Amino acid sequence: MAKATILTVDDDPGVSRAIARDLRRQYGDRFRVLRAPSGDEALEALRELKLRGDPVAVMIADYRMPAMNGVQFLEAAMDLFPRARRVLLTAYADTGAAIDAINVVDLDHYLLKPWSPPEENLYPVLDTLLELWDTAPDPDAPETRLVGHRWSAPSFAVREFLARNLVPYRWIAADEPEGTELLEAAGLTAADVPLVITTDGKTLHAPTEAELAERVGLSTSPASDFYDVVVIGAGPAGLGAAVYAASEGLRTVLVERSATGGQAGQSSRIENYLGFPDGVSGAQLTDRARRQAARFGAEILSATEVVAMEAAGAGRVLRFADGTSIGAHTVVLATGVSYRRLAGAHLDSFKGAGVFYGSASFEAANCRGDDVYIVGGANSAGQAAVYFSRYAGAVHLVIRGPDVARSMSHYLIQQIQAVPNIRIHTCTEVTAGDGSGHLEKLTLRDSRTGTVSTVDATWLFVFIGAEPQTDWLDGLVARDDRGFVLTGPDLPAASSRSPRWPLTRAPYHLETSVPGVFAAGDVRAESVKRVASAVGEGAMAVTLVHRYLEAQ
């Protein structure tokens, strides 16, 4: 295969020669470096590369160019090479435009001119982007195919599982000729969706998550029967714990019942996480963390649900839904939370058929030109509103309170105010939904006036509060009245029905009522619901794991 290309576009000959020289010096042995003096000529070069089947890894475009600026070029180039990483080269005065371009072309990075010394300001950025490009799924490689209906809840469940686990797949509608042919070849009808065809040609009819995970290459069975630490839940807290535990030599297994990333993994863009000034999507952050944990030696089990935990002397036994079990010296509970259902709106029958809990950002292209309704006033809802505004005809943000200032970050409020097709409905509730086979209408109620209105709506995304899934811990681990896990100094506040701390020593800060079992992230009572704090608690839990093991 030909070398992949790094393409630079700049109308200033001096800048063009300089960046090409620095790139060839560092990457010339592995990549072909091309430069073009304008967006039009660069697009022509990309078309030739496309015809020859040559890959493009990175495109670097100057913002200020005549006829076609850098953002316009990158937007056009995305259609030719969607996998290529995108960088905007800009002067300090244009950083505002560069930040705006993040949402227009899903910009990966912007570089300030001059970038000298390249060892500090250019190469580290390119190293990260080239690694991301190299590990991203190749759309030309054999892919998993999913045949389903747009408004089929089981089809949506499979689609969500594949997307959130970053498994490349191609969606094929059951009523398209290709979908009909594949169903007939498998001996099925359009009523039998979903149908999954794996890369090796095997078919799966309406598979469970465990069956699907096993067939697409995700690990579902532990390699050992005993570990130093078992981390339950692969959101930011669990991933943080797995990275630190494995990097410090502990035998570590990370167990996730659905998909890595948790709620953060569904976010279209996280912009207030330390170290990512241009923002990062939840999927990108999750992928990096998962690969980092695996590189340090942590095992990662997908579609594996823990249903019980038992104390066995100094060890802990965890039982899975399939009847198997593993043992460990310590456990980190990082199961996070789930979005709360809309009470009283009778929307359960439309889940996956127009009603979605969380972002489901892979549905964005299907919303093109439609009205999208988003319920919730916190950051996750705001991020979804900004993201879907790129596709939808209008985005309606529905909140119960008088404004979003108390629940949403200031930077996000400013972004929303700058997007013309986002409308905020304050003091408003969704009271009902209606439709035949899928969501078609919503009933809204204004709590100030009592006015009830019915609107046409086929897309509803819900982000209203969260609740922990901790019923399986009942009777073993102390929880508060809402089900959040109590730790450290909060343990004495446990109700009389909850287990109390059994040892003479005080519990460690993140330690639950069971010695050696720790809680981190959103599942912990009184935790700060932020990605950064969850990662920090995951790392802190590992420090306390070491302290616990040393005392045994």
Structural domain boundaries in the chain: 4-135, 144-215, 226-338+467-551, 348-464
* C-alpha to C-alpha distance for 513 and 307, rounded to whole angstroms: 18
Q: Give me the pLDDT at residue 365, please.
A: 82
Secondary-structure class of domain 144-215 per CATH = alpha beta
Q: Give me the pLDDT at residue 342, please.
A: 86
DSSP state letters, 199-241:
TTS-EEES--HHHHHHHTT---S-S-SEEEEEEE--SHHHHHH
CATH 3.50.50.60 fits 348-464, yes or no: yes
Q: Are 517 and 477 in contact (CB under 8 A)?
A: yes
Q: Matching CATH topology for 226-338+467-551 and 348-464? A: yes
Helix 70-80 vs helix 39-52: angle between axes, to the nearest 10 degrees? 10
Mapped onto helix, strand or coil, the DSSP state of residue 501 is coil
Q: Give me the pLDDT at residue 493, please.
A: 52
CATH 3.50.50.60 fits 226-338+467-551, yes or no: yes
Q: Are 499 and 475 in contact (CB under 8 A)?
A: yes
In tens, the pLDDT along 133-181 reads 887 766 556 679 999 998 999 999 999 999 888 888 889 999 999 999 9
Mapped onto helix, strand or coil, the DSSP state of residue 471 is helix
Dihedral of the alpha carbons of 66, 71, 75, 81, in degrees to the nearest 10: 90
Q: Give me the pLDDT at residue 275, please.
A: 85
Helices (DSSP H) in 361-515: which residue ranges?
379-388, 410-417
Per-residue pLDDT of the chain (552 residues; tens, 9 = 90+): 578 999 999 999 999 999 999 999 999 999 999 999 999 999 999 999 987 888 999 999 998 898 899 989 998 998 889 889 999 988 866 667 666 666 667 788 888 888 989 999 999 999 989 988 887 766 556 679 999 998 999 999 999 999 888 888 889 999 999 999 999 989 999 999 999 999 888 899 999 999 999 999 999 999 999 999 999 999 999 999 999 999 999 999 999 998 898 888 888 788 888 888 778 888 889 988 999 999 999 999 999 999 999 988 889 999 999 999 999 999 999 999 988 888 777 898 899 999 998 877 788 888 999 999 999 999 999 999 999 999 999 999 999 999 999 889 999 999 999 999 999 999 999 999 999 989 999 999 999 999 999 999 999 999 997 899 899 999 899 999 999 999 999 986 544 456 778 888 999 999 999 999 999 999 999 999 889 999 999 999 999 999 999 998
The angle at the Cα of 47, spanning 8 to 19, to the nearest 5 degrees, equals 5
Q: Are 49 and 39 in contact (CB under 8 A)?
A: no
Q: Give me the pLDDT at residue 494, please.
A: 46
Q: Give me the pLDDT at residue 137, please.
A: 62
Q: Which CATH superfamily is domain 4-135 in?
A: Response regulator (3.40.50.2300)
In tens, the pLDDT along 84-136 reads 999 998 886 666 766 666 666 778 888 888 898 999 999 999 998 998 888 77
| Environment class of 313 (CB within 10 Å of its CB; exposed 0-12, middle 13-18, buried 19+) | exposed
* C-alpha to C-alpha distance for 463 and 453, rounded to whole angstroms: 21
